[in-house]
Structure 1
């Protein structure tokens, strides 16, 4: 990472015990090196053991990642960076509107059958990632399920957690896959207006659909099927979600 990026996250990294006078041995690796290794792994989609030797040993990197993930540090990194980007764009740190969408992706044969399913509409055997983004396309929440999980049922799991985290959120744009009882339920139970943005029927081929394109752009930027290691919860379809 650049010096500017490191300056933005340095104060978020926990101070080692020995530096705070709480005992223990000095750590053998700089936190900046650890973060660079984690970013490399995510960006390139490699296995932990495939980290280049330029980085600290992968077992140490994995240990730091696990510790930071379980204490919510990585989520805090992401939330603060999102708030900073929104502020720089002249927006409030917390969004008031969002877009929800999903995308089915193929899973390798090695992926356990209990964590994947068949999406008949898309003819894809794999997993489905359900994303909620703000109007800039910045990620608010993600839920990974088997590909046969329904959009409406999954949204019913996502929206309560989303509303609890973003209290000022009052409007969600979605495609026609989210029509039905979900719209009434969200308005009654969560004070969320789910507005369906339909594609014009007389258009053929690719067209940019208002509002929905923001979520679709984010989905295109996250093509790799990743295992979400968040411990925030599990939904009724067996998927795990992370903020």
Structure 2
């Protein structure tokens, strides 16, 4: 990559992978990235275009490959990982997810902030790279690994994600999840959840945050998979995430890096949807 390549507008790299940003997607994402140090007067110089960096991170998320196995047409893996890690710590992925989600909600005739959400969790096996201190065993699902706790709006768009050891009960994690929702989305009035979030979580949410928690239980005599009212939306969100191979298993040493890849996958889905709507 030529060192004078403009990090905001273009890249000399040819798009060849399905995960690469289209021009329309890049137009949505580029303005939301941190300003390069060289352009903000803090010195330094970036030798790789931001679009190539973002494409490399999306490639990791989509293909599930190791950082060291990045194809040679991307910047060096240490450079890409460095950007990914710094942007996780700085909350960049969360901000991008928020802005694109709001734009997508506006494009479908909705207000920027939701009034109703669905919450659920998903246990996934952890690779041997995941330290014992941040993993656990889900006895119900018989999975040794981590658990993703998410809250989504009525479109299935991710509002909050939290990653814990798989042994953490849904009711325990729900306290932090509901607190995060109350801090970030004061417009929320109703929360749909399954029976794993029964009282006292429902009582706590009502007393502390004014949320009405509605438990959507299985139908009497239900066997096998049945689409549940309201809750099918969050189940579909998990299905969207699992299209990204990096998320079929947890490989991240740090839970916050695992949360980052959930947000990258979410941005992936929303940017595609929004760019098609605007084209």
- 2:195 corresponds to: 176
Q: Secondary structure at the match of 1:126?
A: strand
Residue 127 of structure 2 corresponds to residue 108 of structure 1 = yes
Residue 30 of structure 2 corresponds to residue 10 of structure 1 = yes
Residue 67 of structure 2 corresponds to residue 48 of structure 1 = yes
Matches within 5 A, 1:90-129: 90-129=109-148
Residue 256 of structure 2 corresponds to residue 230 of structure 1 = yes
Superposition RMSD in Å: 2.3
Of 219, 239, 245 in structure 2, the residue corresponding to residue 220 of structure 1 is: 239
- 2:208 corresponds to: 189
Change (3 A) 1:17 1:185: closer
CA distance in 1, matches of 2:129, 2:54: 29
Unaligned runs of 5+ in 2: 1-20, 243-247, 264-279
- 1:63 corresponds to: 82
Of 53, 74, 96 in structure 1, the residue corresponding to residue 93 of structure 2 is: 74
- 2:16 corresponds to: none
CA distance in 2, matches of 1:151, 1:179: 10
Paired residues, number: 235
Normalized per residue, which structure has more strand? 1
TM-score normalised to the size of structure 2?
0.77
Unaligned runs of 5+ in 1: 232-238
TM-score normalised to the size of structure 1?
0.88
Q: Is the 8 A contact 2:137 2:167 kept in 1?
A: yes
Q: Is the 8 A contact 2:190 2:212 kept in 1?
A: yes
